[in-house]
Amino acid sequence: MKKFVLAAAAVLFVLPAVQAADDPVAARKAIMQSVAASAGLSGGLMKGDIAYSPAAGKAAIASLNAAALSYGSFFPEGSDMAANTTASPKIWEDAAGFAEALAKFSAVTGAAAQASGKDGPADVDAFKAAMGPVLASCKSCHEAYRVQR
C-alpha cells in the first residue's frame, strides 16, 4: 500500500516531464513501430492470412488513431540531429506542411474509427473500406518528411 502511494505520488510529480518526453526520438519511433504493427495486422486481415474478426479490425484502427493523435508531440526543435532518427529537417523547415500531414493522418484514422463503431467493422469489406485511406497516408508523409540514413 505504502509503495503504491509513493508510486502514485511519483507519477503525479513527473507528469510534466513525461509530457515533454525525456526521449522524444525513442517515443516517436515506438509510435511508428506500433503504427507499422497495426498496418501489418491490417494487411494480414485484408489478405485473409489472419481470420477477420471485428475486434481485430477495431484494435488495428484504434491504435492507429491513437498514434495519429499523439504523434506530433514528439518533434522538439533540434531532434532531427539525433543519430538514430530518419525524421527530415523539412519537418521543422515546413512546420505548417508537417502539421497538415499530421492533421490528414488524424482525419483518416478518425474517420476509420468512426466507421468501425462500437464493435469494429462488421466484415472484411467494411474493414478494407475504412482502412484504405489510412494505408494510403503512410507513403505521402514518408516521402515528404523522412530521409534515408
Smallest Cα–Cα separation from 124: which of 66, 74, 62, 49?
49
Which residues sit opposite 87 in a β-bridge? 146
| Distance in Å, CB of 144 to ligand HEC, minimum | 8
Write out the residues near ligand HEC by the rule CB under 6 A.
25, 28-29, 32-33, 35-36, 39, 85-87, 101-102, 105, 134-135, 137-138, 141-142, 145-146
Place of cell 530521409: 147
Q: Which is nearer to ligand HEC, 15 or 36 (CB)?
A: 36
Amino acid at 15: L
Q: Which is nearer to ligand HEC, 23 or 119 (CB)?
A: 23
Helix or strand run (H / E) with residue 144: helix 124-145
| Distance in Å, CB of 25 to ligand HEC, minimum | 5
| Distance in Å, CB of 19 to ligand HEC, minimum | 19
Which residues, in sequence order, are CB contacts of 8 under 8 Å at separation 6+? none
| Distance in Å, CB of 13 to ligand HEC, minimum | 28
